[in-house]
C-alpha cells in the first residue's frame, strides 16, 4: 500500500498550527514515514495537485478564499480542519462582533476604502465546504495531531474528547480557578489539551472551542455568584466564539 | 527577449507573498513584491476587550513570534497602567524571549534557508541526503521549544505571561536542567555554524545600502529594552515615539502596511541588530562573526541568515549567564497583584524578525480603547521591494529559473512573517 | 500487634526511613489545598489536612494506565505495575472507600491491575485532625475505621499513636526508632478523638439516616429535584472524578508510529459526562442532564447500597467542593428527598433543652429534633414553630449550622404562639417544620470578603447565625464589622457574645441606643450614625442588613450614598407567613414569595419590587 499523499493549505491565521507539525521535532520523521507530504507552502517548495489527505489551516474571510477552498475540496479525499481557526473560526471570529467598515477604518485609517482590503465575515472551514475531521486547539496539540494522523492512516475515526476541560483538570488535581474568583471557561470548553491553562494557574479561555450543549445558563449563575458580571463572562466567551 | 517571473505564494516563508517580474526586450516593466494575505483586523478586534484578555488575543497575530507579541503586549499594558514588575519577572521574561528568538532562528536557518544552500526543495529530501544536519537542526529546535514551553507554558501562544508577572514560574530544578541542556548544545551550535560556513559561498553577492533600525541599549546586544536606534542617525528615539519612526503607509499591492523613515525604506531584523549592536556580542557569537568575515555595517540582505546564526550563539551564551544569576538569587513565588487603571502605553521588543511595537490605551476598568501594532515585517516589506528593484537589473541576463530562485532566496533571507504583518 | 507513641521528631525520622526504602505517596499542600503526591522529604507531610482534591484511589486505579501492549497480528502483553509503595495519611472515610473498591475489583471478575497495586500497597491511615467544611462522614459511619489499613496514626497532644493492625504494618512500625510506649491515658485520649470525630465530621447535616436512603430513593425517581438541580449541571463529571467510590473508566487504543504495535489504555470516566452512555447511531441512554444527574444519586444511595449493603458514598464531601455550580452536594439532595417524602404541613417533634429569658420580651431556646436528625439549616433560614391548639409562627434559626445536634431560637412575645412559647420550659415539646427560605451567602460571595452586619433590635437574631458561622470559619473571611442598634440599653441581646466577638482579631463591634439611661456610656442615636464611624473597603465588602421595617430605608439610603454597590447588600425581610412553603400566599410582595425567594434577598434583586421596602 502506498503512503497517503498529504497537502497542507493555509488561510487567514497565524500559521501556528502548521508550526506545531514542525514542532513534532524527531517525530516528523515518523510522520513522513506514514504519509507523503506533497504540498506544504510554509515548509516545502515542492508542489502537487494530487493529494489524499488535506489539512486546512485558518479561517475563511474572503470570497476568493472560499473559491480556493472549494477547489481544494474537490481534489481532496479527506479534508481535515486544522486548529481553532479552521475548526471554528478561532480568534478571528471576534471580527464578526464588529462593524466591518469601522474595523477597516480603525486599522487602515484613510486607506480603508481601497478595494483589496475587502473581506467578509469570518467563517470556519465547515461553513464553506464539508469537513471530515477537526483538530481542535489554538494551536493544535501535536500529540493529538499525531494520534489523529495515525488514525487516518489506519482508517479509524479518532476518538476526540467531547467532555469539558474540567475533566482533565480534575485528573491533574488542580485547584479550581473559581476558588480564585477567576472566570474559567473549562466547564464549557472541549478537553484534549490536558487542562493546560488551569494547570498553569490560570483560567481556560476556550481555545479548543465549545463542547456540545454547553450550559451557558449555569455559567451565568456561577459568575454572578463569584462576584463577576455577565459581561465579564460574555467577553471571555467571545474570545474563541464559543456558543 | 521577454522574461516573466511569477511566484504566487512564495514557499518556505510564513504567510502569503507573491513575486512578479516582467521584462520586455531587456527592459524592466514590472518588479513587484506583493502581499495578498487576508487581513484580520486585530487592532479592531482588541477594542473593548479586557486588559486580562488582550494578550490571549494578540499573541495569535503570529504563530512564530507569539512570545514576542505577548511580551510587547504585556509591556504595553504595564506601561499604560503603571504596573511595575520584579527583577525576577524581567529575567524570566527575557529568558522566555530568548527561547523564541533561538527557536525561530533555528527554524529559519535550518528548515527554510538550508534547502536553498543544499540545492533541495525542502528539508524532506534532506532527511535522506543530509541526515546528520537534519538531526542536528531538529535537536536544536526541540531544545528551543522545550525551553519556551518551560517558561511560557506553551511553545506557541504563551499562557503564563500576565500583566504584573507570571501565572506560574518554573522550579529551580527545571532551570538547573535547562542550564545543563543549554551548556550541552554549545558544540552543536559550533557544528551548525561550521555547516553553514561550508556553504557560505552559495549566498548571493549583492549589496545595497539602506537604513537599519533596531533596539539599542548601551552595553547590551538588546532584544528587550532600550531606545530605537538607526544607522542613519547618531541619536536614538524613545520607543513611545515609534509612530514618528515607522510612518506607515499602504501600497496598492499589499494588504499589510509598509514603513519608511529617512529613506524610501528601512530594514529590521537580525542584520539590523548586528549592524547596530555588534560591539556587544558574546565570545562564541564573535567567533562565528569572524569565521564568516562579517563586519558591521553589512549591507548584503542575504546575510540576515548569518546574523541569525550569530545571534543563536549570542542567545545561548546570554541565557546561560541569565540562568546563572537566577539560580544564584533563587526563585520566589510572587503573587499577581496588578489592577487595571486608565492610561496609554507602548511595549516594544525585538521579535526574531526585528523591532516590534504595540501601543494600547485603556479606560478605568481596563477595557481597551485603541491599539496600534507595528510588526517587523511591516517595516521590511518596503526594503524587500527596494532590494528587488536594485537586484533585478543586475541579474537580468540570468534565466527565469535563476532570477526566480535569487528573488525567492532574497525574500526568505528576510524571514518575513507575512500573515503577522497583515494582522 | 503493637501500638507505639511517636513524637514529631520520631515520626519524621520514621517517615524518612520509609522514603529511603520505598515509594511513599503522602498528603502535601498544593496552594491552599491538599493532594496525595510522591513524598521526597518528611517535612512536607501534612497530616493536619482537611481533605485532598483527589482521593487516594488514583494509586490503585490511576487516572490513565496502560493495560496492555499489542501487535496488530493479535498478540497481547498485559502490563501490571508491581512496585510496592506506602500510602501515608489516608483519612478513615478514604480507607472505607478503598475497602469498598476492593470488593468491587476483586469480586466476580478479578481486576489484576487494580488488585496488584492494592496488594503492593501499605496503607498508613490517619485520624482526621481538621474536618473539611463539606464532610459528613459522621453520618455514614466512616468518621473512624476499624480495619482496611496497616497502621493507624492518631494525634494525641503533640504526639501520634501509631497502631499496627496487620503483619505488614507491624513490620513497618518496627522500623520506627525512639518511640515510646503509650499509656492507658493515651488510649483513653484516642477513644476521645474517635468519639469526637464522629460528631465533628458532620459539617453537612444529613437529616435522614443513611440506611433510610434506598427506601427514600425508591419513591423519588420522578421527583422534580432532578430536573431542578440539573438545570445548572455542566456535565463536567467533577463530582464523579473526585469521588473515592466512583470507578468507571474508558478504554482506548493507540498505535505506535510503526502502525503495528500499540497500547490499550484505560482512563477515568464519569456517568455525568454527556457521552458516557451514548451508543452508535446517536442514541444516548441518559440523554438529558437530569437523567445523568439522577443516576449518580441512585448509584450511590441505592444501586450499590443494595448490592454491597453499604452506601457508595463515604461522606468525604469532595463532590460538594468540586462542583462549580454547587449542585452536587448529596446531603442537599437527600435532605430534600427526605423532606418531600414527608407531608410538608406536618411538624416534627422537638424538645426544648434550654429556655431562659433574655430581656423582658424575648426568650432564648435551645432545641433538638426528637428523631435525632439534624435540622440541617443554613444561616438566615427560618422554621415554623408549632404549638398544637394554638398555631404556628415563623421563627429564624439563630444558631450557626456549625453547632452540632441542636439549634437555637430567640422569640419575642407579641401574640398567641409567641406568648404560649414564652411559658414553656426545658423538657417541653414543640413542633418544627423546615428549615425554609434562602440564606446569607456565607458559602460563596462572602468568602474572602469583608463583611458588614447592620442589625436593629431583634434583627440580630437571624444575623447571629451568620456571624457565628463566620466566627467558626474565621480565616475564610476578611474584616467583620457588626453594627447593632436597639431602643434602650435593656433591650440588648447576646451582650456576652457581642463582647466576645469584639475581641476577635479583625472584628469590630459598635452599638448604639435610641434613648439611654445612666447605665449606658456608649453611642446614642439611630443606627445610621454608626456607619461613618467605621472604615470600609467598599469594593471588597458584603453587607447584611436586618431589622425593623423603618430601618431599611434609612440604612439602605445611607449605604448607597457611601457608594456601596446594590448587589453587595443582602437584607432579610419579614412578612406575615402561614405555610412557609410558597403556597398560602400570605408572604407575597407583588409577585415575590418571601418564604421561598426570601427572607434573605440581594438588595439589587428587590429594589424594584414595590411592596418590598
Ligand atoms: C421569616 C421570619 C422570621 C422571624 N423570626 C422571628 C424570630 O426569630 N423571633 C421572633 O420573635 N419573631 C420572629 N418573627 C416574627 C414572628 O413570626 C411573629 O412575631 C409571630 O408570627 C407572631 O405570631 P403570634 O402567634 O405570636 O402572634 P399573632 O397572635 O398571630 O399576632 C399578633 C400580632 O403580630 C402580628 N404578626 C403576625 N405575624 C407577624 C409577622 N410575621 N411579623 C410581624 N408581625 C406579625 C399580627 O398581625 C398581630 O398584630 C419572624 C417572622 C418571619 C416572617
Ligand atoms: S488556530 Fe490558533 S495557532 Fe492555529 S492558526 Fe489559528 S490562531 Fe494560529
Ligand atoms: S479550573 Fe476551570 S477547568 Fe479546572 S475545574 Fe475549575 S472550572 Fe473546570
Ligand atoms: S485550558 Fe482552555 S484555553 Fe487553555 S489550552 Fe485548554 S482549551 Fe485552550
Ligand atoms: S459522593 Fe461525594 S461525599 Fe460521597 S464519597 Fe463521593 S465525593 Fe465523597
Ligand atoms: S460536578 Fe456539578 S456540574 Fe459537574 S457534573 Fe457534577 S453535578 Fe454537574
Ligand atoms: S408563607 Fe405561605 S406562601 Fe409564603
Ligand atoms: Fe498594525
Ligand atoms: Ni510574526
Residue B375 or C344, more confident: B375
Could you tell me the sign of the dihedral formed by the alpha carbons of B156, B157, B161, B166, in that order?
A: negative
Residues A29 and A115 both lie in one domain: yes
Residues A100 and A37 both lie in one domain: yes
Per-residue pLDDT, averaged over C539-556, amounts to 92
Last residue of a domain, one of A101, A126, A153: A153
pLDDT of residue C574: 87
Tell me whether C63 touches chain A (CB under 8 Å): yes
A58 is a domain residue: yes
Could you tell me the sign of the dihedral formed by the alpha carbons of B46, B52, B57, B61, in that order?
A: positive
Global pTM value: 0.85
- Residue among C147, C146, C44, C32 nearest C88 (CA): C44
Maximum alpha-carbon separation in chain A:
60
C142 falls in which pLDDT band (50, 70, 90)? very high
CA dist B270 and B267 (Å) reads: 10
Tell me whether A243 touches chain C (CB under 8 Å): no
CATH code at position A105 = 3.40.50.700
pLDDT of residue A243: 45
**pLDDT cut 90: percent of chain C above it:** 77
- Residue among C396, C369, C331, C334 nearest C595 (CA): C396
The structural domains of chain B, with segments of one domain joined by +, span 3-422
- The separation between the first and the last C-alpha atoms of chain C, rounded to the nearest angstrom, is 69
Task: State the alpha helices, DSSP H only, in C37-166.
Answer: 92-106, 112-119, 137-140
Residue range C413-444, pLDDT digits in tens: 999 999 999 999 999 999 999 899 999 999 88
Residue range A79-112, pLDDT digits in tens: 999 999 999 999 999 999 999 999 999 999 999 9
Residues A27 and A137 both lie in one domain: yes
A159 is a domain residue: no
Whether residue C412 has pLDDT greater than 90: yes
Whether residue C470 has pLDDT greater than 50: yes
Tell me whether B50 touches chain A (CB under 8 Å): yes
- Chain A residues closer than 8 Å to C257 by CB: 27, 30-31, 33-34, 146, 150
Residues A126 and A81 both lie in one domain: yes
Residue range A162-214, pLDDT digits in tens: 999 999 999 999 999 999 999 999 999 999 999 999 999 999 999 999 999 99
Query: A13: which strand partners?
Result: none
Look at the block and give the residue holding cell 475515526.
Answer: A157
Last residue of a domain, one of A153, A179, A202: A153
Give ipTM to 2 decimals: 0.96
* Number of CB atoms found within 10 A of residue C218's CB: 12
pLDDT of residue A117: 94
Best A90, A107, A139 member to test B by mutation, with max B CBs in 10 Å, is: A107
- The separation between the first and the last C-alpha atoms of chain A, rounded to the nearest angstrom, is 42
CA dist C563 and C558 (Å) reads: 9
Residues A28 and A111 both lie in one domain: yes
pLDDT of residue C306: 86
Report, in this order, helix, strand and coil percent for chain A, each rounded to 5.
45, 15, 40
Inter-helix orientation angle B87-106/B66-81, to 10°: 150
CA dist B231 and B262 (Å) reads: 10
The one-digit pLDDT tens for each residue of chain B (423 residues) are 789 999 999 999 999 999 999 999 989 999 999 999 999 999 999 999 999 999 999 999 999 999 999 999 999 999 999 999 999 999 999 999 999 999 999 999 999 999 999 999 999 999 999 999 999 999 999 999 999 999 999 999 999 999 999 999 999 999 999 999 999 999 999 999 999 999 999 999 999 999 999 999 999 999 999 999 999 999 999 999 999 999 999 999 999 999 999 999 999 999 999 999 999 999 999 999 999 999 999 999 999 999 999 999 999 999 999 999 999 999 999 999 999 999 999 999 999 999 999 999 999 999 999 999 999 999 999 999 999 999 999 999 999 999 999 999 999 999 999 999 999
A189 to chain C: nearest residue by CA?
C236
DSSP C431-453: EEEEEES----TTTTTTTSEEEE
pLDDT of residue B171: 97
Task: State the alpha helices, DSSP H only, in chain A.
Answer: 16-22, 27-34, 63-75, 84-88, 100-108, 142-154, 165-171, 196-199, 216-225, 230-239
Per-residue pLDDT, averaged over A24-36, amounts to 95
CA dist B106 and B188 (Å) reads: 12
Cis amide linkage into residue C221, ω under 30° from 0: no
Interface contact A91-B44, CB threshold 8 A: no
Q: Which three cell numbers stand for residue B243?
A: 509612530
Number of domains, chain A: 2
A160 is a domain residue: no
Return the partners of chain A (3 or more C-beta pairs < 8 Å).
Answer: B, C
A2 falls in which pLDDT band (50, 70, 90)? confident
Tell me whether B252 touches chain A (CB under 8 Å): yes
Interface contact A27-C63, CB threshold 8 A: no
Whether residue C75 has pLDDT greater than 90: yes
Residue range C318-328, pLDDT digits in tens: 999 999 999 99
C280 falls in which pLDDT band (50, 70, 90)? low
DSSP B189-206: HHHHHHHHHHTGGGS---
A1 falls in which pLDDT band (50, 70, 90)? low
What are the C-alpha distances in Å from B111 to residues A22, A43, B12, C412, C509?
9, 7, 8, 85, 71
Chain C, residues 320-349, CB within 8 A of chain A, namely: 322, 324-326
Residues A126 and A176 both lie in one domain: no
Return the partners of chain C (3 or more C-beta pairs < 8 Å).
Answer: A
Last residue of a domain, one of A90, A121, A153: A153
To the nearest whole angstrom, how far is the Cα of A147 from the nearest Cα of chain C?
A: 7
Answer yes or no: are the C-beta atoms of C468 and C338 closer than 8 Å: no
Answer yes or no: are the C-beta atoms of C513 and C487 closer than 8 Å: yes
**Residues by chain with Cβ below 5 Å of ion ligand 9:** B 62, 64-65, 417, 420
Q: Tell me which residue in C64, C237, C242 faces A163 most closely, judged by beta carbons.
A: C237
Residues A14 and A115 both lie in one domain: yes
Question: For ligand 5, what atom is nearest to the CA of residue C296?
Answer: 1
Which helix (H) or strand (E) covers residue B45, if one does?
A: helix B42-45
C373 falls in which pLDDT band (50, 70, 90)? confident
Residues A98 and A197 both lie in one domain: no
Best A152, A166, A206, A224 member to test C by mutation, with max C CBs in 10 Å, is: A166
Sheet with strand B266-267: strands edge to edge: B233-237, B227-230, B211-216, B266-267
> Which residue's CA lies nearest to atom 2 of ligand 2?
A138
Residue range C78-104, pLDDT digits in tens: 998 889 999 999 999 999 999 999 999
Ligand 7 probe mutation, C385, C435, C593, C601, most atoms within 8 A of CB: C593
Answer yes or no: are the C-beta atoms of C123 and C102 closer than 8 Å: no
pLDDT of residue C51: 98
Residues A30 and A111 both lie in one domain: yes
- Residue among A7, A6, A20 nearest A136 (CA): A20
Answer yes or no: are the C-beta atoms of A100 and B73 closer than 8 Å: no
- Chain C residues closer than 8 Å to A187 by CB: 234, 236, 324
CATH superfamily of domain region B3-422 = Cytochrome-c3 Hydrogenase, chain B (1.10.645.10)
Interface contact A29-B44, CB threshold 8 A: no
Residue-number span of the structural domain to which A177 is assigned: 165-240
pLDDT of residue C263: 97
Amino acid at each position: 500500500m502506498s503512503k497517503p499523499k498529504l497537502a497542507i493549505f493555509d488561510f487567514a491565521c497565524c500559521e501556528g498550527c502548521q508550526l506545531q507539525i514542525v514542532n513534532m521535532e524527531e517525530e516528523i520523521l515518523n510522520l513522513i514515514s506514514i504519509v507523503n507530504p506533497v504540498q506544504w507552502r510554509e515548509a516545502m517548495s515542492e508542489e502537487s495537485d494530487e493529494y489524499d489527505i488535506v489539512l486546512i489551516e485558518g479561517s475563511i474571510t474572503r470570497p476568493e478564499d472560499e473559491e480556493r477552498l472549494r477547489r481544494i475540496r474537490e481534489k481532496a479525499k479527506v479534508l481535515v480542519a486544522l486548529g481553532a481557526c479552521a475548526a471554528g473560526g478561532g480568534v478571528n471570529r471576534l471580527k464578526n462582533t464588529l462593524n466591518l467598515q469601522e474595523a477597516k477604518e480603525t486599522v487602515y485609517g484613510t486607506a480603508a476604502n481601497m478595494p483589496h482590503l475587502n473581506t467578509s465575515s469570518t467563517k470556519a472551514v465547515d461553513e464553506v465546504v464539508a469537513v471530515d475531521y477537526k483538530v481542535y486547539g489554538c494551536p493544535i496539540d501535536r500529540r493529538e495531531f499525531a494520534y489523529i494522523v495515525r488514525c487516518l492512516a489506519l482508517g479509524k475515526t479518532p476518538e476526540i474528547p467531547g467532555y469539558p476541560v474540567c475533566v482533565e483538570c480534575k485528573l491533574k488535581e488542580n485547584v479550581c480557578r473559581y476558588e480564585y474568583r477567576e472566570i474559567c471557561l473549562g466547564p464549557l470548553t472541549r478537553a484534549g489539551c490536558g487542562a493546560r491553562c488551569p494547570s498553569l494557574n490560570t483560567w481556560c479561555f476556550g481555545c479548543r472551542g465549545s463542547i456540545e450543549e454547553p450550559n451557558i445558563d449555569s455559567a451565568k449563575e456561577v459568575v454572578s455568584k463569584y462576584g463577576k458580571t455577565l459581561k465579564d463572562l460574555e467577553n471571555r466567551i467571545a474570545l474563541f466564539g464559543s456558543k | 527577449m521577454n522574461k516573466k517571473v511569477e511566484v504566487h505564494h512564495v514557499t518556505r516563508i510564513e504567510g502569503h507573498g507573491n513575486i512578479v517580474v516582467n521584462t520586455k526586450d531587456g527592459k524592466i516593466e514590472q518588479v513587484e513584491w506583493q502581499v495578498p494575505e487576508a487581513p484580520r483586523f486585530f487592532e479592531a478586534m482588541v477594542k473593548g476587550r479586557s486588559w486580562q484578555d488582550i494578550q490571549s488575543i494578540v499573541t495569535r497575530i503570529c504563530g512564530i513570534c507569539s512570545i514576542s507579541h505577548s511580551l510587547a503586549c504585556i509591556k504595553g499594558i504595564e506601561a499604560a497602567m503603571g504596573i511595575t514588575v520584579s527583577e525576577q519577572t524581567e529575567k524570566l521574561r527575557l529568558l522566555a524571549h530568548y527561547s523564541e528568538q533561538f527557536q525561530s532562528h533555528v527554524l529559519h536557518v535550518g528548515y527554510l534557508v538550508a534547502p536553498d544552500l543544499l540545492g533541495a526543495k525542502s528539508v524532506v529530501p534532506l532527511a535522506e541526503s543530509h541526515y546528520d544536519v537534519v538531526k542536528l537542526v531538529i535537536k536544536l529546535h526541540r531544545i528551543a521549544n522545550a525551553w519556551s514551553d518551560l517558561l511560557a507554558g506553551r511553545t506557541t501562544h504563551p499562557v503564563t505571561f500576565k500583566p504584573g508577572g507570571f501565572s506560574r514560574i518554573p522550579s529551580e530544578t527545571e532551570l538547573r536542567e535547562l542550564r545543563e541542556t543549554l551548556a550541552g548544545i554549545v558544540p552543536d551550535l559550533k557544528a551548525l555554524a561550521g555547516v553553514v560556513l561550508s556553504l557560505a559561498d552559495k549566498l548571493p553577492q549583492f549589496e545595497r545600502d539602506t537604513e537599519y533600525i533596531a533596539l539599542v541599549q548601551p552595553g547590551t546586544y538588546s532584544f528587550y529594552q532600550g531606545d530605537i536606534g538607526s544607522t542613519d542617525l547618531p541619536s536614538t528615539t524613545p520607543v513611545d515615539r515609534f509612530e514618528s519612526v515607522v510612518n506607515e503607509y499602504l501600497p496598492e499591492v499589499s494588504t499589510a502596511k509598509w514603513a519608511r523613515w529617512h529613506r524610501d525604506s528601512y530594514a529590521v531584523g537580525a542584520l539590523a541588530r548586528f549592524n547596530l549592536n555588534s560591539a556587544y556580542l558574546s565570545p562564541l557569537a564573535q567567533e562565528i562573526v569572524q569565521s564568516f568575515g562579517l563586519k558591521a555595517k553589512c549591507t548584503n540582505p542575504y546575510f540576515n541568515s548569518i546574523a541569525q546564526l550569530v545571534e543563536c550563539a549570542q542567545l545561548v551564551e546570554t541565557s546561560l549567564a541569565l540562568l546563572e544569576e537566577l539560580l544564584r538569587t533563587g526563585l520566589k513565588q510572587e503573587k499577581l497583584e496588578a489592577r487595571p487603571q486608565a492610561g496609554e502605553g507602548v511595549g516594544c521588543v525585538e521579535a526574531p524578525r526585528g523591532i516590534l511595537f504595540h501601543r494600547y490605551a485603556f479606560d478605568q476598568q481596563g477595557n481597551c480603547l485603541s491599539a496600534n501594532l507595528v510588526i517587523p515585517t511591516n517595516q521590511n516589506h518596503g526594503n524587500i521591494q527596494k532590494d528587488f528593484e536594485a537586484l533585478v537589473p543586475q541579474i537580468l541576463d540570468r534565466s527565469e529559473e535563476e532570477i526566480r530562485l535569487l528573488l525567492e532566496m532574497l525574500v526568505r533571507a528576510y524571514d518575513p512573517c507575512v500573515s503577522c504583518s497583515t494582522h | 500487634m503493637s501500638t507505639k507513641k511517636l513524637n514529631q521528631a520520631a515520626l519524621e525520622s520514621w517517615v524518612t526511613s520509609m522514603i529511603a526504602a520505598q515509594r511513599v505517596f503522602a498528603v502535601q499542600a498544593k496552594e491552599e489545598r491538599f493532594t496525595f503526591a510522591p513524598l521526597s522529604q518528611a517535612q512536607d507531610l501534612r497530616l493536619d489536612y482537611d481533605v485532598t482534591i483527589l482521593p487516594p484511589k488514583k494509586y490503585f486505579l490511576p487516572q490513565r494506565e496502560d493495560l496492555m501492549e499489542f501487535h496488530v497480528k493479535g498478540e497481547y502483553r498485559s502490563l501490571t505495575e508491581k512496585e510496592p509503595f506506602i500510602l501515608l495519611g489516608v483519612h478513615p472515610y478514604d480507607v472505607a472507600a478503598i475497602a469498598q473498591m476492593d470488593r468491587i475489583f476483586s469480586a466476580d471478575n478479578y481486576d489484576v491491575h487494580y488488585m496488584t497495586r492494592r496488594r503492593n500497597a501499605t496503607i498508613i491511615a490517619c485520624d482526621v485532625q481538621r474536618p473539611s467544611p463539606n464532610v459528613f462522614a459522621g453520618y455514614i459511619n466512616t468518621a473512624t475505621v476499624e480495619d482496611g489499613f496497616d497502621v493507624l496514626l492518631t494525634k494525641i497532644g503533640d504526639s501520634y499513636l501509631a497502631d499496627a493492625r496487620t503483619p505488614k504494618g507491624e513490620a513497618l512500625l518496627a522500623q520506627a526508632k525512639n518511640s515510646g510506649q503509650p499509656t492507658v491515658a493515651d488510649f483513653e485520649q484516642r477513644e476521645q478523638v474517635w468519639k469526637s470525630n464522629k460528631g465533628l465530621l458532620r459539617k453537612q447535616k444529613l437529616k435522614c439516616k443513611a440506611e433510610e436512603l434506598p427506601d427514600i430513593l425508591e419513591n423519588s425517581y420522578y421527583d422534580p429535584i432532578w430536573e431542578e438541580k440539573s438545570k445548572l449541571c455542566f456535565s463536567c463529571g467533577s463530582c464523579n472524578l473526585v469521588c473515592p467510590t466512583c470507578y468507571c473508566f474508558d478504554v482506548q487504543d493507540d498505535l505506535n508510529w510503526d502502525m503495528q504495535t500499540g497500547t490499550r489504555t484505560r482512563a477515568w470516566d464519569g456517568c455525568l459526562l454527556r457521552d458516557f452512555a451514548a451508543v452508535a447511531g446517536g442514541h444516548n441512554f441518559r440523554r438529558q442532564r437530569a437523567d445523568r444527574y439522577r443516576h449518580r444519586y441512585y448509584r450511590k444511595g441505592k444501586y450499590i447500597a443494595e448490592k454491597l449493603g453499604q452506601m457508595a458514598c463515604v461522606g468525604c464531601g469532595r463532590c460538594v467542593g468540586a462542583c462549580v455550580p454547587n449542585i452536587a452536594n448529596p446531603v442537599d439532595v437527600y435532605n430534600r428527598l427526605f423532606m418531600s417524602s414527608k407531608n410538608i404541613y406536618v411538624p416534627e417533634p422537638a424538645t426544648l433543652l434550654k429556655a431562659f429569658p433574655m430581656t423582658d420580651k424575648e426568650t432564648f431556646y435551645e432545641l433538638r429534633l426528637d428523631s435525632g436528625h439534624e435540622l440541617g439549616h443554613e444561616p438566615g433560614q427560618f422554621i415554623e414553630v408549632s404549638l398544637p391548639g394554638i398555631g404556628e409562627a415563623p421563627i429564624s434559626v439563630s444558631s450557626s449550622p456549625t453547632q452540632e445536634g441542636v439549634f437555637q431560637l430567640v422569640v419575642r412575645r407579641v401574640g398567641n404562639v409567641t406568648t404560649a412559647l414564652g411559658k414553656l420550659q426545658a423538657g417541653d415539646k414543640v413542633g418544627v417544620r423546615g428549615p425554609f427560605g434562602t440564606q446569607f451567602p456565607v458559602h460563596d460571595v462572602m468568602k474572602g470578603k469583608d463583611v458588614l452586619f447592620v442589625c436593629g433590635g431583634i434583627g440580630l437574631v437571624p444575623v447571629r447565625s451568620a456571624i457565628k458561622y463566620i466566627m467558626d470559619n474565621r480565616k475564610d473571611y476578611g474584616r467583620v464589622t457588626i453594627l447593632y442598634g436597639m431602643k434602650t440599653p435593656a433591650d440588648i441581646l447576646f451582650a456576652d457574645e457581642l463582647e466576645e466577638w469584639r475581641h476577635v482579631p479583625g472584628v469590630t463591634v459598635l452599638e448604639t441606643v435610641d434613648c439611654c439611661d445612666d447605665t449606658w456610656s456608649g453611642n446614642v442615636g439611630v443606627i445610621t450614625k454608626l456607619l461613618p464611624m467605621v472604615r470600609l473597603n467598599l469594593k471588597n465588602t458584603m453587607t447584611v442588613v436586618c431589622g425593623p421595617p423603618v430601618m431599611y430605608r434609612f440604612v439602605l439610603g445611607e449605604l448607597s450614598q457611601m457608594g456601596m454597590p446594590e448587589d453587595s447588600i443582602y437584607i432579610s425581610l419579614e412578612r406575615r407567613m402561614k405555610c412557609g412553603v410558597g403556597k398560602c400566599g400570605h408572604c407575597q410582595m407583588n409577585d415575590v414569595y418571601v418564604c421561598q425567594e426570601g427572607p434573605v434577598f440581594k438588595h439589587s434583586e428587590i429594589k424594584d419590587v414595590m411592596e418590598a421596602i
